[in-house]
Chains A and B, each alone.
Chain A
Amino acid sequence: MAAVLESLLREEVSVAAAVRWIARSAQSSEDDPGEAAALSSLRPLRKEFVPFLLNFLREQSSRVLPQGPPTPAKAPGSSAALPGRPGGPPRGGRGARSQLFPPTESSSAAAAEAPSARRGGRRRGPGPGRERGGRGPGGLEEGVGGESQLWPGGRRSRGSGSPGSPSLVRSDPPNLSNLEEFPPVGSVPPGPAGRTKPSRRINPTPVSEERSLSKPKTCFTSPPINCVPSSQPSVPDTSPWGHGLPPGCRSLQEEREMLRKERSKQLQQSPSTTCATSELGPPLPSWTGNLTAESADPARVSSRQRLELIALVYSSCIAENLVPNLFLELFFVLQLLTARRMVATKDGDLEPSPGAPVQVLEHQFQVLSYLDKGTLKLLAENERLLCFSPALQGRLRAAYEGSVAKVSLAMPPSAQAVSFQPETDNRANFSSDRAFHTFKKQRDVFFEVLREWEDRHEEPGWDFEKGLGSRIRAMMGQLSAACSHSHFVRLFQKQLLQMCQSPGGTGGTVLGEAPDVLSMLGADKLGRLRRLQERLVAPQSSGGPCPPPTFPGCQGFFRDFILSASSFQFNQHLMDSLSLKIRELNSLALPQPEPSDEDGESDVDWQGERRQFAMVLLSLRLLAKFLGFVAFLPYRGPEPPPTRELQDSILALRSQVPPALDVRALLQQGLRARRAVLTVPWLVEFLSLADHIVPLLDYYRSIFTVLLHLHRSLVLSKESEGEMCFLNKLLLLAVLGWLFQIPTVPEDLFFLEEGQLDALEVDTVASELGLDGMPVVDQHLLYTCCPYIGELRKLLASWVSGSSGRSGGFVRKITPTTTTGLGAQPPRTSQGLQAQLAQAFFHNQPPSLRRTVEFVAERIGSNCVKHIKATLVADLVSQAESLLQEQLVTQGQDGGDPAQLLEILCSQLCPHGAQALTQGREFCQKKSPGAVRALLPEETPAAVLSSAENIAVGLATEKACTWLSANITALIRREVKAAVSRTLRAQGPEAAARGERRGCSRACEHHAPLPSHLISEIKDVLSLAVGPRDPEEGVSPDHLEQLLGQLGQTLQCRQFLCPPAEQHLAKCSVDLASLLVADHIPVLGPPSPRGLERGQARRLLHVLLSLWKDDFQVPVPLQLLLSPRNVGLLADTRPREWDLLLFLLRELVEKGLMGRTEIEDCLGSLRDAQWPKDFSEELATLFHLFLAEPHRPEPQLRACELVQTNRGTVLAQS
């Protein structure tokens, strides 16, 4: 790096050329030949420049940032070696970033690897001596260091760190991600010799004790690596970044020296790399104050110049996407800007430290201007910034004032249950009744579990597995049939989308509400506000600028559910379902360019389209995240495999396993169709949950290569027609940058050799603007997808309070570089041509037209199927029913085997299904044009309208007829089957009981007493009658009459009467009649202590008879009147009076309620019962009397009375 900087300082090379040089391996035609010559000598170092620069900056500034918010991770370290093979596979072993990894590695693993590294390292090419800070006058001439010192050195530094610090200088984690051992696709695999020498990287940076105590991080956003323990005295700083290397770093330097010596020794032993050695530039000058010692002409170079130069190079690297994570760098720069421990410089000609960050910010103004309003305000109000660049401050203020919230995503409220859909959830979709009912229960258990989780998951000490695990597993255990699994998975996935899709559902605040509250309070009481802000902000912190993938809010429920269920079948079905849905959404037609519209109307359209895009994107991200989670679940572990052998065998195994979803194809499709802005964000979510092995697999490695290429191509400053929109790019940069920082992604992956990238350069001919060129991403979506961008605001807020709010971004069109032309041409058949014509027709029409037509076609097609079901199929079903009736009549009640019946019917009816296609065509023809016309603007030209109508008709017909021709027979069959079983059931014994039912009369106002009331009243009478009763209890005759009157009313008004109630009323009325006949009704009042008068009883019986005859619509169990129990009631009475019974029997016959023979049978069977002797005799007499009664046509009443007076008395006296 120093050599490059030297060249720059000597003005041999322009910054632009240097950055071009860094960015591209090949020479550019723009390059001045002199520049090229100057740089070409440094070629082997080119690739290392950026990692070196980043590490250099981090190390230089580490002392400034001992506290405050989390410091960004260091960039990956430079490659350890470049053995004279430019363009070959990357040899860069471990970057310095590995120290930022979670402390998962065991020291034994590190120790085990160390010797092999030492052995293998022998044949490595010489590392550039100046890597990693390159402080000190290291060089080849420094002599050969003993390799044995290398590791002791490492241990020493470990010892000097604070105990317990997670980022103590540990040696590398197992060399899982080494590109040398696992070269990317397209690279030449290193020879066997190469494989035995994994590049070791020393991590010589001790960690500040102070830092280690601040906020331990377990992820890669670990605390900054301080180069000096806090116990070291700090000395005035002279470095460009405000701080020189303190003496405390001596040991570090020593280590580096040793390393350098080691490398040079290796170099000498490796003849193949001598060439590279000769190309190595002069030793890197230190930027820590002793630069003059090595600088060619120190007098010419002021500190300020150096500083500006570095800032410029750094900014250019950021602008060219040479750094892995744009926002991480911004975070870092803002950290420097807001560092509390600013040290005054002694050196007069050196600017105070914030100068450089401000300069970088100036270069990044464009990005800054797209940040949210709150961040802009905080930046604009930053006094350091004002002090160093009033101009930038002015621009930021203007940006803040101009920033408006363009779109707010009004998401539907979440936490509703997935609704029951009869089409998919009814019985017909289940293999058996049991499966159907099991699923019914499962749905309820699922929501019960979900509700319990909602209530309790925030309670301290509550544990998902303990609280719900067994219930979930019990539930999953019942899902036996595969079909039940798919039902449940559908429910699960729908609920997941419903609850987690909206930002509110993710549990994290997007653009925090707190700052709005602050702005309401006013900004005068800064101290209080700041405290408040910090309190509000702190707990929301999403874990620094590069948080690990998490499952916030409701997502946690679904993750834990999957974990607790631990069901292989469930996971498989879930993956299938998620993959399907991802494919479906990923290929969903989304807004197409509407070139000319710039007016307000199209803005309204864009609101809707942006929202649709946002919904689809967020859904995809959610689904992909869960797909990644489930797909990689069996392989996930906290750490990579401990040994290379193990890793190799795992790789060999895993490379056999096909991916859960062919994401590579989808990515390629997305790039080709210029839909990267949709595809890449979800792909990133998917990959973020991959395990350590995944990035090493050829399949995924190639994906990463494409992503890296894409990342590099998204240069924000490039603006031209057809480019990707700025915010689209920013979104992709943010998500990709985040992905590159995921623990499972190898840290050196980003600094791949470009040669491979170049090989993947795709055709950039852009014939059509895809989604990428549309302003589909707005600021809200950016912050929703990348909440960690909000860390910038939190950082600034912790420096100085202020307010922020929502804002929208500007939309700019920028030319992208990675796209290809259209896909393969469709076949030139006439149908293909028609399709092409239709496409062409839409091409020059507003996108809303296409959507309308597609929508109409989709709906009409679907309605057509429903219509056919309701008309043609329903007709066939009723035909089936009448055919079946005939069959039943001819063949008797049972009608034969139902299956056979069904076959006969179907063979007769299914051929009629052919009509469905004709009718379907007619329906679509009739309905589609009107719908299109209603939905398109009135002003649509007639020709366009008619074309649109025709296309809609065609599409609708195609949809409907495709479905119908495939399914109509099965549909008819299913419906006929249901009808057959319905009809057969209706033949059962209950059907007869139902009979023909009359409604109430037209004039009825439904004021009759309620049936329940009547049953209750009659029951009371019955219970009084059968006792036991208190002496004062009884029934008045009037009440009885009233009761029967009410019964009549109720039976006439059928409004509230249901058959069971009527049946009970009928039975109770019979019981009542029996009690009347037996004179068992206790009557209230003194006149007749014994019972009802005969006349009264007879009147009541008359009423009952007429009710039975005229009003009951259910069969009345009149035979019960002659049941032994009811007749037996008479046995208890003294003297027995048979006249009422005889009267009743005759009336029954008279009114046709019972036949004579029926009564005779009953009476006959009564004689079989055991009675007292006298009772039996009386019964026999009654029988004879009844039988003796002639059939007389004249009025019976008179005769009966005769009988009653004569025979009754006789009977009573006997």
Chain B
Amino acid sequence: MILTKAQYDEIAQCLVSVPPTRQSLRKLKQRFPSQSQATLLSIFSQEYQSMLAFSCHCITTWLCLSRYLNGVGRNGAAPVLLELANEVDYAPSLMARIILERFLQEHEETPPSKSVINSMLRDPSQIPDGVLANQVYQCIVNDCCYGPLVDCIKHAIGHEHEVLLRDMLLEKNLSFLDEDQLRAKGYDKTPDFILQVPVAVEGHIIHWIESKASFGDECSHQAYLHDQFWSYWNRFGPGLVIYWYGFIQELDCNRERGILLKACFPTDIVTLCHSVA
């Protein structure tokens, strides 16, 4: 779904200071029924992330911890941590991480390592405090933008689209090298697929294809350009990016320079003809 900047802004407007929860997403779907859930979720998630990045969250963790402790002291079964996160406009998973870190710091001599924290977030059963384990779990399953589950979903979506893309390439008889093959050959930057024989899409030469199972908004696209797409161009020449959940139309402005955006697998593919003679 390719949106104009104006359409996108309309959606983004509705997301201002909305907590990234299941309920919020449900309301968003009702508001924009023509957009797919995946597109909306992608926009929601990215908007929320950039909102978090831009807003200076000076959360005083010890204050949060004491509020949390007070809350669970009153009622351990209540969604204390989740409500606390919503109250301070912070993603529940991130809030859970902060409190967990703080909590462990208070209870153990050495500050917990990052991997320990990550492991506990993935499996809250490892958290020594039962109440906190439940609270953290609640935050994680209710967060639709952050957290190990969301990360896994995103990863799975990305993987699925790569598989889909691979199938399409195979179906079109386009030979390619995939990321793993490229890495094995020692490439330092690896798009999802490099075409062994370039093709033309809508009149533009394509050497590589990158699959992005997300919505291409301004912020993420700029980051991708800087970290990935231009790097691919620098090494392999012009290429194609597929934003499966759409993108802002205005971002497709580097076609002449060698970066083409699409929201689906292209239909207009011209391949090199081998002369029969």
Contacts and interface: CB of A to CB of B under 8 A. Distances in A.
Interface of A: 416-420, 422, 425-428, 436-437, 439-440, 443-444, 446-448, 451, 1010-1012, 1015-1016, 1019-1020, 1022-1024, 1026-1028, 1030, 1055-1056, 1058, 1060-1061, 1064, 1067-1068, 1117, 1120, 1123-1126, 1128, 1132, 1169-1170
B188 A436 contact: yes
B264 to A, nearest CB: 16
A585 B123 CA distance: 64
Interface string B150-176: 001111110110011000000000000
A426 B186 contact: yes
Given A451-B230, A1015-B149, A1125-B133, A420 B188 contact: yes
7 contacts: A417-B234, A417-B235, A1019-B153, A1026-B134, A1055-B163, A1125-B134, A1125-B137
Contact of A422 (B124, B154, B186): B186
Contact of B123 (A427, A1016, A1067): A1067
A127 to B, nearest CB: 63
B156 A422 contact: no
A422 B156 CA distance: 30
A1061 B213 CA distance: 15
Interface string B68-104: 0000000001010010000000000000000000000
Q: Interface centre among A436, A443, A1125, by most B CB within 10 Å? A: A1125
Contact of B156 (A446, A1012, A1026): A1012
A1128 B122 CA distance: 19
A1015 B79 contact: no
Interface string B125-156: 10100100110011001100000110011111
Contact of B138 (A419, A1015, A1020, A1026): A1026
Q: Interface centre among B123, B164, B188, by most A CB within 10 Å? A: B188
A783 B114 CA distance: 66
A1132 B164 CA distance: 45
Contact of B23 (A447, A1016, A1030, A1067): A1030
Contact of B188 (A417, A425, A1020): A425
Contacts of B141: 1019, 1022-1023, 1026
A481 B154 CA distance: 39
Contact of A1060 (B152, B231, B257): B152
Interface of B: 22-23, 77, 79, 82, 122-125, 127, 130, 133-134, 137-138, 141-142, 148-149, 152-157, 159-160, 163-164, 185-189, 226, 230-231, 233-237, 257
Given A1010-B156, A1058-B155, A1023 B236 contact: no
Contacts of B133: 1124-1125
Nearest to A413: B205
Contact of B163 (A1024, A1030, A1056): A1056
B234 A1012 contact: no
A1027 B156 contact: no
Nearest to A1030: B23
A489 B138 CA distance: 55
Contacts of A451: 230, 257
A1126 B138 CA distance: 13
B243 to A, nearest CB: 16
Nearest to A1021: B141
A1084 to B, nearest CB: 15
Given A419-B236, A443-B231, A1012-B156, 8 more contacts: A425-B187, A426-B186, A447-B233, A451-B257, A1015-B153, A1020-B22, A1056-B160, A1123-B125
Given A1015-B156, A1022-B141, A443 B235 contact: yes
Secondary structure of the A contact surface, majority rule: helix
Given A436-B188, A1055-B163, A1060 B22 contact: no
Given A447-B230, A1023-B141, A1124 B130 contact: yes
Given A1019-B141, A1027-B138, A416 B152 contact: no
Contacts of B156: 1010-1012, 1015, 1056, 1058, 1060-1061, 1064
Given A1020-B22, A1023-B22, A428 B123 contact: no
A1117 B123 contact: yes
Given A417-B234, A425-B186, A1128 B130 contact: yes
Contacts of B125: 1120, 1123-1126
Contacts of B189: 420, 440
Contacts of A1064: 148-149, 152, 156
B223 to A, nearest CB: 13
A427 B22 CA distance: 45
A1015 B188 contact: no
Contacts of A1019: 141, 149, 153
Contact of B153 (A422, A1016, A1030, A1055): A1016
Nearest to A1028: B79
A104 B94 CA distance: 68
Contacts of B22: 1020, 1023-1024
Nearest to B257: A451
9 closest Cβ pairs, A-B complex = A426-B186, A420-B235, A1012-B156, A1123-B125, A1061-B156, A1023-B141, A447-B234, A440-B188, A1012-B157
A987 to B, nearest CB: 19
Given A1067-B123, A1126-B125, A1132-B77, A448 B153 contact: no
Contacts of A1169: 130
A443 B231 CA distance: 8
A417 B186 contact: no
Contact of A1010 (B142, B160, B235, B236): B160
Contacts of A444: 230-231, 234
B155 A1027 contact: no
A447 B226 CA distance: 11
A1128 B138 CA distance: 14
Nearest to B233: A417
Given A1028-B82, A1064-B149, A420 B138 contact: no
Nearest to A440: B188
B159 A1058 contact: yes
B159 A422 contact: no
A418 B231 CA distance: 11
A616 to B, nearest CB: 24
A1068 B226 CA distance: 36
Nearest to A1061: B156
Contact of B155 (A1010, A1060, A1117, A1126): A1060
Contacts of A1011: 156, 160
Q: Interface centre among B82, B142, B163, B189, by most A CB within 10 Å? A: B142
